[in-house]
């Protein structure tokens, strides 16, 4: 037998073995997905109870439990800018029983905001869907004599100013840093473990500005907190008379972007399970309870299926990462 033929046969055997291994692996994954779920599913929320992330997870989780016939447990694991909760899921088995919800920045920008993370955001996790957050509200205490963002920036140049954020590296943190760089202000970012205490400190005057969800802002809107703008490309349905920051003349890319609250699974979770979870999120979004949640939080749009989520993820993540790199924020 010639050496060439021996080499050809060796390559054929190697290819056959690889194909067999692939078929066994695919078969195991299919069998796992076919009998899924057979036990409770856990969704880790990387923030405390009471915020938009928690509200989405509990509402969706209750619907999911009814559709799949197993309990869906919501576990709040806040801390370290969502790193604790995300790390717990990144190190969990990829069997379709553990997921995590957090803000988009903690999945997208943290890979450049931190020099070292206990997990790899590109390799250890995979997106399922993104629950939209809608326009965020920029709110200040009534005592500050500013009616819009430009007037507030002028005021901040001459007064000690702190901006509340709901996590290091979050949207308001980036907005504060960008404002400082462009306008020469010295706004200090104060990080909170959730929105409720942040807006309470705006109402008391301990903070001079904060950025967050409409619902959390609205709890303090009758206690001396006033909206001077909203982020994103359209006005909040609940605040139709409050112009976007773009309408106010801000041309920065950051103020036009709308983040969200991704539902993410450990990498390697069977494709059929990822698709089912995303499809159920889409189905849930068309229910009366989901519509009520969106109305409460002034969110007009809905989560998408797995294919569209991946397409958006590929297109949007590089934009957010570039913004974080350009701003030069480092959190460690």
The mean of the pLDDT values for the chain is: 88
- Residue 247: the pLDDT is 97
pLDDT reported for residue 217: 94
pLDDT tens digit sequence for 189-245 = 999 887 889 999 999 999 999 999 998 999 999 999 999 999 999 999 999 999 999
186 within 8 A of 178, measured Cβ to Cβ: no
- Please report the domains of the chain, with CATH numbers, ordered by start residue: 37-133+259-327 (3.40.190.150), 137-256 (3.40.190.10)
- Pull the structure tokens for residue 181: 């760089």
pLDDT single digits (tens) 125-158: 999 999 999 999 999 999 999 999 999 999 999 9
* Arithmetic mean of pLDDT, 47-51: 86
On the 0-12 / 13-18 / 19+ scale of CB atoms within 10 A, 196 is middle
- The pTM of the full predicted model, rounded to 2 decimals, is 0.80
Per-residue pLDDT tens for 2-33?
A: 443 344 344 434 444 444 444 454 454 445 55
pLDDT band at 34 (very low <50, low <70, confident <90, very high): low
Q: What is the pLDDT of residue 33?
A: 57
The predicted pLDDT at position 20 comes to 46
Please compute the mean of the pLDDT values over residues 239-258 and round it to a whole number: 91
**Tokens found for residue 315:** 């297109």
Q: What is the pLDDT of residue 245?
A: 96
Q: How many CB atoms lie within 10 A of CB 13?
A: 10
Q: In 57-146, where do the E strands start and end?
A: 72-76, 98-101, 125-132, 137-141
Strands annotated E in 79-141:
98-101, 125-132, 137-141
- When pLDDT is averaged across residues 309-313 and rounded to a whole number, the result is 95
52: left (phi over 0), alpha (psi -120 to 50) or beta: alpha
- Cα separation of the two ends of the chain: 63
pLDDT of residue 142: 96
């Amino acid at each position: 037998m010639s050496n060439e033929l021996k080499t050809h046969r060796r390559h054929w055997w190697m290819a056959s073995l690889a194909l067999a291994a692939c078929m066994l692996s695919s078969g195991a994954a299919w069998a796992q997905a076919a009998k899924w779920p057979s036990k409770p599913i856990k969704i880790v929320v990387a923030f405390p109870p009471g915020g938009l992330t928690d509200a989405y997870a509990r509402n969706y989780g209750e619907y999911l439990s009814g559709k799949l016939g197993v309990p869906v447990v919501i576990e709040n694991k806040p801390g370290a800018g969502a790193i604790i909760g995300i790390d717990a899921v990144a190190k969990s088995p990829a069997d379709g029983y553990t997921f995590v919800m957090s803000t988009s920045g903690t999945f997208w920008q943290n890979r450049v905001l931190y020099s070292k993370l206990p997990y790899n955001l590109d390799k250890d996790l995979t997106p399922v869907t993104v629950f939209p957050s809608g326009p965020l509200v920029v709110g200040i205490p009534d005592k500050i004599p500013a009616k819009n963002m430009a007037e507030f920036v002028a005021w901040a140049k001459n007064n000690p100013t702190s901006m509340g954020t709901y996590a290091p590296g979050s949207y308001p943190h980036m907005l504060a840093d960008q404002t400082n760089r462009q306008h020469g202000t010295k706004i200090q970012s104060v990080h909170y473990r959730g929105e409720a205490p942040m807006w309470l400190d705006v109402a008391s005057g301990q903070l001079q500005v904060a950025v967050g969800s409409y619902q959390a802002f609205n709890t303090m809107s009758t206690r001396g907190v006033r909206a001077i703008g909203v982020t994103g490309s359209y006005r909040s349905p609940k605040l139709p008379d409050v112009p976007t920051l773009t309408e106010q003349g801000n041309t920065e890319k950051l103020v036009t972007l709308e983040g969200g609250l991704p539902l993410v699974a450990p990498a390697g979770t069977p494709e059929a399970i990822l698709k089912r979870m995303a499809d159920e999120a889409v189905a849930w979004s068309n229910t009366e309870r989901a519509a009520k949640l969106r109305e409460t939080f002034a969110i007009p749009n809905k989560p998408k299926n797995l294919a569209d989520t991946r397409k958006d993820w590929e297109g949007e993540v590089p934009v957010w990462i570039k913004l974080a790199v350009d701003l030069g924020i480092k959190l460690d």
